[in-house]
Amino acid sequence: MTEIIGYALASVIGISLGLIGGGGSILTLPILVYLLGINPVLSTAYSLFVVGSTSLVGSFNFMKKGLVSYKTALIFAIPSFLAVFLTRKFLMPAIPDELFTLGGFTVGKDFAIMILFAVVMLMASYSMITDNKPESEEGAELKFNYPLIAAEGFVVGTLTGVVGAGGGFLIIPALVLLVRLPMKMAVGTSLLIIAAKSLIGFLGDLGNQVIDWKFLLIFTGLSIVGIFVGTWLSKFIPGQKLKKSFGWFVLIMAVYIIMKETVLK
């Protein structure tokens, strides 16, 4: 039964990406780990492929509407690409399965990945919920703080590599808060960055993980169906409301993961 629910929720991953330009990996990792029983390390690899492929398909629609800032994507993406590939190829395989023991409790690699994932989500949700500055208007001149955007890209790329997240829940705040992109343009730009970064990160896993391609392609196909639904729904929701709703969504998922990994074990 949980397996059927897991496959059904694959489309919700795409809806999230189409609607808010992120959140796909926030759903993907818990679905793969908790419902489909795949270990967290392999799940992070699958998550990169699912979210990357789905985001790539979704970004085409935003490109056609002129809702992608290619300059922003390039500044953000180059250091991010480098960080995520190096992290997946070299850092993750080097991390031991057992990290340390604290009061008789052994902190393992899987547990650390899920808790780090939740902590990053908490920080991202706070930035989205508490930002009360008005959105930039469509067509307004964008201001680029190149070093800050590049540094953010490197940090997001590293975290993406560790937790297998496309990074939309980190990229969206960066684009909205640092570049002052309108929310819907931030969504389109985020999808393009996520697609390239996630798929490049997945390449770093090909020599380190045994991939079940049949399962992965079916799951990804269901997610791609969902992104068309999410993109359609985004037409009816104001950008500012979308941003705060996204923040609360991320917060709820972060609390759930922390509870699941600790008191609900």
Compute the distance between CA of residue 5 and CA of residue 26 in angstroms, rounded to an integer: 16
- The pLDDT of residue 256: 82
Instruction: Give this prediction's pTM.
Output: 0.72
Compute the distance between CA of residue 248 and CA of residue 190 in angstroms, rounded to an integer: 19
* Under-50 pLDDT residues of the chain: none
pLDDT digits (tens, 9 = 90+) for 106-141: 778 778 877 887 887 787 778 778 766 555 555 555
Is there a contact between 181 and 69 (Cβ–Cβ < 8 Å)? yes
Cα atoms in the Cβ-side hemisphere of radius 13 Å centred on 80: 31
List Cβ neighbours of 103 (8 Å cut-off, separation of 6 or more). Answer: none
Residue 179 DSSP code: S
